[in-house]
Structures are given as structure tokens and as C-alpha cells.
Structure 1
Amino acid sequence: MFIYQKIRFLANHKNKWDEWMLSQIATMETGNEIMPPWVMFPGEDVGWRQGYQEAWLHEVWLPFWWRLLPGEREIYINKWNIPAYWRVRISNYTK
């Protein structure tokens, strides 16, 4: 099942979504790598305004991203083959 389809399924089953979101937060908090948004939600517009994708972005991925050092960020985005439009987008997410 594609991640996007999984998110849609979880959105329709709120308890499952909550469990998944908590597991993602726990993964991030233990220092493990989080898949990037361009992998989690392929083909999605980068201009999310609300919903599950945005909650995941702000509660899970951005805290993970901000914890990385500049050199680690470059390794991470090269590992995950970042699309050009996401490279521009995440340049705005520096802290």
C-alpha cells in the first residue's frame, strides 16, 4: 500500500491515525531517521495548509530536520533524492 493510501486509510480511522502519529513522534524522539515528506507523500503539493500531512510535517518531520546539522542535512537530502521543488521549500525551514 502506498504511504499516501495508508494516510488516507488512517485518516478515516482516527484511532489508527493517532497510533501511527505517536509512533512517528516516538521514532523522531529516539533519534531515528524519519522519511522525508517527498517520500511519505509522493506527488503531493508542497503547499499544505491543514490536515494530516501538515500535522505530520510540523509535529514529526520538521523537529527531526531542525535537529540535523548542515552537513547531515545535505547527506540526508542526497540519500533521499530530493526533488528540486522540495529543495526550495526546505530552504525556508532553517532554524
Structure 2
Amino acid sequence: MNTAAAEVIQLVGPGKNRQTNGKVSWNMKNNETAVLVGAKQIGEALNVPAKKIYTLLSTNSIPCVFKLGGKIAARRASLEQWLIDLETEAKAAA
């Protein structure tokens, strides 16, 4: 796991999501969308600054981001799975 991804695990930390039966539940509000557009929205979903999202992108540490209308975007479900994978890697390395 690279350093930038490890920092995301530290920044997100416990209590930001709820894990049940091996699946993460983000408790989406009615006004939240499945696709996050822009570093600000992605960062807010991960509870990290937009600048950290750009750092992750520049180091190819966040694989689930794509371009949508000239802006970066990510599916909320893909981010959830990415975090689960990072957590699994971190536990295996410990």
C-alpha cells in the first residue's frame, strides 16, 4: 500500500462509516447521489480535503476516479469498495 492511500485510512478513521455483514453502509441521505463530481464532493465523501484527492490522483493511488464532463468523478460504491480493499490490505500487513 502506498503512503497516500495509507493516509486516507488514517484520515477517514473509525466512525465515518458503518460496517455490517462485510458491507459498508454510508447512510446516504436522500439528497446524496451515487456519482460524486469534483474533488470537493469526492473529498467530502471521504472526509479529506480536495487537495488530498488531487494528491491521490497524481500518485495513481485512487483507481476509481474517472472524467465526467471535464471534471473528475467517482461512484460512491467504487469509493466504498476501494476503502474496503485498503482496509483489508492494511489488516493483512499488520
More strand by share: 2
TM-score normalised by length of structure 1: 0.28
More helix by share: 1
